Amino acid sequence: MAPTEISSLARSPSLTRCAGGARRVGSSSPSSGRSASFNIHRLPAEATLAASPELPEDILMSVFGILEIPDLVRAGSVCTSWHSGYITLRNLQKHKQSQTPCLLYTSESAGDNVACLYSLVEKRVYRLTLPEPPIRSRFLIGSSLGFLVTVDDISEVHLVNPITGEQIALPSVTTMPHVKPICDDSGAVHKYEYSKNYAKRASSTWLYALCELRESFYFKAFVFYDASTGSFIVVLIHEPFSQLSFARVGDDKWTRLPPHCGYQDCTYKDGLLYAVTIRGEIHAFDLSGCTVTMEIIRGLDVYLDLDAVSIVQAPWGDLLLVSRSLEFEDPDDENADPEIPLPKYTGEIKLRKVDVGTMRLVEIDCLPDHVLFLGHNHALCLSAKEYPALKGNHAYLTDDDEYISHRRSCRRDIGVLDLGSNSKEDLVSPQLWSNWPAPVWITPNLTMMKLTLDK
């Protein structure tokens, strides 16, 4: 399947009224799996058009509010009045929230600044031009609420909304207690000193080039919305020893959470950050006060040995632990470097719910009428009835391990797994994506994060 091309409609400049609206070129049915191109047909400014009846803006907004974002963006490009309704809807944050996740990836043929979005609803691919630095030069370490968390080639973190094109720099990596900038004779930072100090363990120190630190420091990132303050919180799982740090959008530094090791995944509910470790521990952090407090929800389980685990908020209220058994696949290259970890692929998924009364893990064998999205995104559990394009009792997978930055040319762990039989099928064939940066699930969102900075 060739990538589909779409204009960056969400970021279009002022649009001229057009007789034909948004013109579809080379369209095809979604079920065919073929691509289509979308362009905006603009008339010269001096063109005169016959008056046509227009729907009131409130009716337009009611219709627009129930559209999937690709359709909404196209509708907002039909004419000036529809574009005005689209802008009003976006600014008021009243667009439909229950969007179907898409796979975001890059393609060498699309260009260094282009991200491709594969729609599970339409089975088509859209191209979005993103701001500098080029998306193909970045690490993708997280996806939440429609935002990508990216790391550039000097190991600094940015939030990017690929739909709106908005980009925000997060606090510098040098505000982390483990990282110290090293300056050259002109005063410019040209290296990082990285110390692996933790608790009573002996400290080790390394020097990294600006572009190299990210390969050893970042694991995973999340974006959560704190309704009590109207702010966005970004949480990092990072080295050494998979610890946690957080920052609110607009902060000038990262804040490290109480030291612990082995964190694998996070979720956020009712003002509390829940984090799970590789041994099944669950900690709850209250980030609302001047001092962060931590409560141990579930302690260390010496009998639990997991390859990878996600903590998922189920629609019916339960907390789920979803573990993936990862299998190593021998590299095709017989001369592969033995020092580089082998790629891992999902062989089996096990489901457990956290019993509220005892905090024990109770195994469950299926998720009838529900769907999981797992990977370097904020893990999701969605109702298949609300998302008819998705397969119930299935998990949609992308890579999710600490060695995601190694063996970049290897095939990625992407597919759809039946939770009943643990049989796995390809998402699409042939493969659409480049293997680097590693593809992630993203739920398209028109939210403008800058609104929180202006309050």
Whether residue 115 is contained in a domain is answered as no
Are 430 and 304 part of one and the same domain?
A: yes
* Sheet architecture: strand order including 440-442: 124-129, 114-119, 102-105, 440-442
In whole angstroms, give the CA distance from residue 27 to residue 39. Answer: 11
Q: Is the pLDDT of residue 327 over 70?
A: yes
Domain-embedded: residue 213: yes
For the full predicted model, state whether its pTM sits above 0.75.
Answer: yes
- Per-residue pLDDT band for 450 (boundaries 50, 70, 90) equals low
- One domain, residues 66 and 197: no
Task: Compute CA 113 distance to the chain's CA centroid, rounded to the nearest angstrom.
Answer: 17
Q: What angle do CA 91, 97, 102 make, to 5 degrees?
A: 110
Residue 66 has pLDDT above 50, yes or no: yes
Q: Apex CA 401: angle with CA 396 and CA 406, to 5°?
A: 115
Q: At 261, which CATH number?
A: 2.120.10
257 and 362: one domain? yes
Alpha carbons 157 and 217: distance in angstroms, whole number: 12
The answer, yes or no, to whether the previous bond of 430 is cis (omega within 30 of 0) is yes
Tens of pLDDT, residue by residue over 167-182, are 999 999 999 989 999 9
Instruction: Answer yes or no: is pLDDT of 141 > 70.
Output: yes
Quick one: pLDDT at residue 431? 84
Phi-psi domain of 55 (left: phi exceeds 0; alpha: psi -120 through 50; beta: other)? beta
For residues 209 and 335, membership in a common domain is answered with yes
Q: Is 44 contained in some domain?
A: no
Asked if residue 33 is part of any domain, the answer here is yes
Q: What are phi and psi of 342, to 5 degrees?
A: -70, 150
Out of 46, 75, 91, a domain closes at 91
Examine the pLDDT at 25 and tell me if it is beyond 80.
no
Number of neighbouring beta carbons within 10 Å of residue 205? 11
Residue 346, pLDDT above cutoff 90: no
Residue 442: inside a domain, yes or no? no
Inside any domain, residue 146: no
Residue 12's closest CA among 131, 202, 144, 165? 165
Give which of 261, 347, 268 is closest to 312, Cα–Cα. 268
Rounded to 5 degrees, φ, ψ at 82 are -70, -35
Give the mean pLDDT of 214-229. Answer: 92
Starting from the edge strand earliest in sequence, which strands make up the sheet with 308-313, in order?
A: 308-313, 319-328, 344-354, 361-364
The Cα–Cα gap between 167 and 146 comes to 12
pLDDT band at 264 (very low <50, low <70, confident <90, very high): very high
Domain that holds residue 14: 5-38+54-91
pLDDT band at 307 (very low <50, low <70, confident <90, very high): confident
* Average pLDDT of the chain to the nearest whole number: 81
Helix (H, G, I), strand (E, B) or coil at 96: coil
* DSSP track, 133-197: SPGGGSEEEEEETTEEEEE-TTS-EEEE-TTT--EEEPPPGGGSTTEEEEE-TTS-EEEEEEE--
Give a yes or no: residue 178 inside a domain.
Answer: no
Predicted local distance difference test score (pLDDT) of residue 151? 96
Above pLDDT 70, what percent of the chain? 79
Q: What is the pLDDT of residue 411?
A: 75
> For position 184, what pLDDT does the model report?
93
- The sign of the CA dihedral 181, 377, 379, 219 is negative
pLDDT tens digit sequence for 350-397: 999 998 788 889 999 999 999 999 999 999 999 999 999 999 999 999
Does 51 have pLDDT greater than 50? Answer: no
Domain count, the chain: 2
Rounded to the nearest 5°, which phi and psi values hold at 213?
Answer: -60, -40
Residue 299 in tokens: 């302690």
pLDDT over 70 at 75, yes or no = yes
> Could you give the count of Cα atoms lying within 13 Å of 57 in the half-sphere of its Cβ?
9
- Residue 66 placed within a domain: yes
CA torsion, ordered 77, 82, 88, 91, to nearest 10 deg:
-10
pLDDT band per the 50, 70, 90 thresholds, residue 343: low
Q: Which two tokens stand for residue 172?
A: 């510098």
Give the residue, 350 or 400, on which the prediction is more confident.
350
CA distance 350 to 343: 21
pLDDT digits (tens, 9 = 90+) for 195-221: 886 555 556 889 999 999 999 899 999
Task: Assess whether pLDDT exceeds 60 at residue 158.
Answer: yes
Shared domain check, 226 and 373 = yes
Regarding whether 395 and 268 lie in a shared domain, the answer is yes
pLDDT band, residue 282 (cuts 50/70/90): very high
